[in-house]
Amino acid sequence: MQKVFKMKFKFRLAYYLFGLLLGLFFVIWFLGTKAESKGVEFCYLPNCRVLQDLRKKPLQISEEAKTTLNQDWVNLEDVKASLKYGDVDFSKSNEIFKKGKLYVIEGKTTQNEEITITMINYTDKVILEKVEKR
């Protein structure tokens, strides 16, 4: 007669969670390397989605932002890097402003100075409203 081995619930749960974690790691690693080779971004979080939307539209620069960009402490490359690696301040963002949505992005310059970028997002374009030191 065979003896049936019963596992306690906490051990079954541990094995299940370990397998789930291992499977998720494999899927993310496999899809991540496949997507990177094709230039696809894994972008499902709100911060990433807003920054991606702002990056893919044509950029127009306001007069106030042009005067700031002409100064030595910040340039357009700093703004583009902040649109890739910055953080959207959602408490100040997503408000209707001049028939578009206002977004405030916190980023850094190449000299590691903290900056705040204000942009207006329209359906067909993005306007860089202003760039300020924090």
The answer to whether residue 115 scores a pLDDT higher than 70 is yes
> Does one domain contain both 63 and 22?
no
> Does one domain contain both 55 and 82?
yes
Average pLDDT over residues 24-41: 69
pLDDT tens track for 100-110:
888 999 988 88
The answer to whether residues 109 and 69 touch, using CB atoms and an 8 Å cutoff, is no
> Does one domain contain both 20 and 36?
yes
Give CA torsion, residues 100, 132, 61, 99, to 10 deg: 10
What does the radius of gyration of the chain's CA atoms come to, in whole angstroms? 23
Q: pLDDT value at position 16?
A: 92
> Does one domain contain both 78 and 106?
yes
pLDDT tens track for 63-86:
888 888 888 888 888 888 888 888
Q: Nearest-CA neighbor of 121 among 113, 129, 131?
A: 129
> Does one domain contain both 61 and 105?
yes
Higher pLDDT, 105 or 40: 105
> Does one domain contain both 58 and 124?
yes
Higher pLDDT, 64 or 95: 64
The answer to whether residue 40 scores a pLDDT higher than 70 is no
Residue 121: domain span = 46-133
> Does one domain contain both 36 and 53?
no
**How many domains is the chain built from?**
2
Instruction: Report the alpha-carbon distance of residue 113 to residue 71 in Å, rounded.
Output: 14
Instruction: Report the alpha-carbon distance of residue 83 to residue 55 in Å, rounded.
Output: 7
